[in-house]
């Protein structure tokens, strides 16, 4: 079995959920032992986190942190690396160029799941930077799917909600607003909605019965990719 390297801390609650879900799904597939996993929980300053998630800038500071993290994981012996955070995939090509091992791409993995479910149009719920950079739109288009996007003012509100989730606010009020945005995307013709921020799984699950439109959790897609990659 290969060794997985995980960049965590973006944010910590989601890192913990990602690890637990990975262990849960690995057990039936690899019955002799749990997988070999390195988790590097990066010390992101709260100011940088807020800039990236809520304000949509601060790329230079975040890239320095991620550059150091991927190199540490490769040097530690990881056979491949994953980052359970959608927004920082704006740096995907730059980070991949630093490595001699694979860096899995949560965007492409999620887009492939959308295609496998027969979606023709897909909406994305994510941070302002994720939406404005069009990283998901490009991944969906490469998979033959038409992206559906929220309006600018709604993106601003969504980024604020995601930052509140990162800060520990997982109240029902935040969830209701997210469901309302999913309804907006449905009304724009989306066959389903990507939970394009891994922290959203702290509020919404794919199998929740009150969702206004089918959803795909990007974190879940990345977990499945790691299970696949562990076996080579």
**Predicted confidence pLDDT, tens digits, the chain (232 residues):** 899 999 999 989 999 999 999 999 999 998 889 999 999 999 999 999 988 888 888 899 999 999 999 999 999 999 999 999 999 999 999 999 999 999 999 999 999 999 999 999 999 999 989 998 999 999 999 999 999 999 888 988 999 999 999 888 999 999 999 999 999 999 999 999 999 999 999 999 999 999 999 999 999 999 999 999 998 7
pTM (2 decimals)?
A: 0.94
DSSP H/E element including 125: strand 121-125
Helices (H), the chain: 12-29, 46-50, 59-76, 92-97, 106-116, 128-133, 135-142, 152-166, 172-187, 218-230
Which domains, ranges and CATH numbers included, belong to the chain? 3-105+221-230 (3.40.50.1860), 107-217 (3.40.50.1860)
């Amino acid at each position: 079995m290969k060794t997985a390297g995980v960049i965590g801390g973006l944010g910590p609650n989601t890192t913990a959920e990602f690890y637990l879900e990975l262990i849960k799904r690995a057990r039936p597939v690899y019955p002799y032992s749990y997988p070999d996993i390195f988790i590097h929980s990066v010390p992101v300053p709260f100011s940088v986190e807020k800039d990236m998630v809520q304000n949509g800038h601060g790329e230079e500071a975040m890239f320095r942190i991620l550059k150091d993290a991927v190199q540490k994981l490769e040097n530690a012996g990881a056979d491949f690396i994953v980052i359970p955070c959608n927004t920082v995939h704006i740096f995907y090509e730059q980070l991949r160029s630093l490595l001699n091992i694979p860096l899995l791409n949560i965007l492409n993995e999620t887009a492939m799941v959308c295609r496998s479910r027969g979606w023709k149009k897909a909406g994305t719920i994510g941070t302002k930077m994720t939406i404005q950079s069009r990283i998901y739109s490009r991944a969906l288009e490469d998979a033959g799917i038409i992206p559906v996007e929220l309006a600018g003012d709604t993106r601003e509100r969504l980024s604020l909600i995601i930052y509140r989730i990162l800060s520990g606010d997982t109240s029902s009020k935040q969830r209701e607003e997210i469901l309302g945005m999913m309804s907006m995307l449905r009304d724009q013709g989306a066959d389903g909605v990507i939970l394009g921020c891994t922290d959203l799984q702290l509020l919404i699950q794919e199998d929740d019965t009150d969702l206004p439109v089918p959803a795909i959790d990007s974190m879940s897609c990345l977990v499945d990719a790691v299970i696949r990659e562990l076996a080579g």
